[in-house]
Amino acid sequence: MPVDSQILLKRLEPVVRPTGVVRTVPVRPMEQADFDELLARAGRGELASGRRIDDSVLVEPLDPEFTERMGRVADAAEAAGFERVLVVVDERPLLLDISDRKLERELNVAEDEQLHRVDAAVRLIGEEERQQHAPGPEGPRNTQVPPVIAEAILNRTETSQGDRDEAA
């Protein structure tokens, strides 16, 4: 089965993307942007609704950083058409209703044996854990290529080598 090299590169991108390289594209204020530009910015997740997440059902409220990040998750989930998302915040599993922007409940994994229908799941980690997984100056720390990609690369290399042998 032939594999398109562009697809392989796209799948490898998060691992091989250089760190510290930031594309700077002039961004016009929303009032001056045309519809296509606004649509593209929304697709890239650059626009936020600013709607607050209601965490009043929680005994221990969330850190404001997490509620802000959860708001961005809710924006993305709403754009994708999701209605209910499982959000794990520093080991706390929470059910988030997207349309109301309200946390329904905190799941107690040890006691809760009930199934919950969700459209997606996301894990939000704290700053300390994020620093542990952040790429260093030499690049990302995870250098292992996923087996599916490695196999596709090897198959493509063997196919290319076979083509060269036949041409000779």
Q: Return the pLDDT at 102.
A: 92
pTM of the entire predicted model: 0.54
Q: Which amino acid is at 32?
A: Q
CA distance 134 to 152: 28
- Residue ranges for the chain with pLDDT beneath 70: 1-26, 45, 109, 112, 129-146, 156-168
DSSP secondary structure of 140-157: -S--PPPHHHHHHHHHHH
CA distances 146 to 14, 21, 130, Å, are 12, 24, 22
Task: Identify the pLDDT of residue 164.
Answer: 47
Q: Strands, E, within the chain: which ranges?
A: 84-89, 92-97, 102-106, 120-124
